Amino acid sequence: MSRLLDDPLRWADAPLVYDLDEVQKRIPQRHEMALLQGIVQHDPVNHFAIGIHDAALDAFWVRGHIPGRPLMPGVVMVEAAAQLSAFVTSFILPPEAGQLFGFAGLDSVRFRGQVRPGDRLVIAASIKRLRRNIAQFATQAYVGSDLVFEGDILGASI
């Protein structure tokens, strides 16, 4: 198992420091694609944050992604981590009018566990590199103390 970015159990029931409304002031995703539901830890000096996503029983993926045994698709975990990365980046590279911080690539992605309806996904993102308008993040996601996803996310201002 990889070195954890933080202890996920510290954040499983932590109060929000940014709620969904505050998150949406910084990133554009809405409706069923608003996967980052809140922030429980934000360190703007070290460019690190912990966000949460509660996998609802009626989430858009539940009905069709393995009927009878619903599992959160890996791409949904990656998107939640990318949204957290964009949130962190918004404090470093505030978007100019009409710009946003979007996906530019993925590296070393591994899925190590399952996320089911009713689970709380705790997501960590820590900046590895920043160059002008491009950032690379180490990201991980956990359910309880179990690491379920990890990978590097590359984003760019577009």
Mean pLDDT of the 43-48 span: 96
pLDDT band with cut points at 50, 70 and 90 for residue 95: low
Write the single-letter amino acid at 67: P
- Contact status, residue 158 vs residue 87, Cβ threshold 8 Å: no
**Residue 1: is its pLDDT beyond 60?**
no
**Residue 99: is its pLDDT beyond 80?**
no
Check if 53 is active-site.
no
**How many Cα atoms occupy the beta-carbon half-sphere of 88 within 13 Å?**
36
Of these residues, 31, 42, 53, 65, which one is catalytic?
65
CATH classification code of 8-157: 3.10.129.10
Looking at per-residue pLDDT, the higher value among 59 and 94 belongs to: 59
- Contact status, residue 39 vs residue 16, Cβ threshold 8 Å: yes
- Could you give the C-alpha distances from 119 to 12, 69, 122, in angstroms and in order? 10, 14, 9
**Residue 67: is its pLDDT beyond 70?**
yes
Mean pLDDT of the 28-52 span: 97
- Contact status, residue 129 vs residue 105, Cβ threshold 8 Å: no
Q: Where are the domains of the chain?
A: 8-157
- Could you give the C-alpha distances from 86 to 17, 61, 131, in angstroms and in order? 17, 23, 15
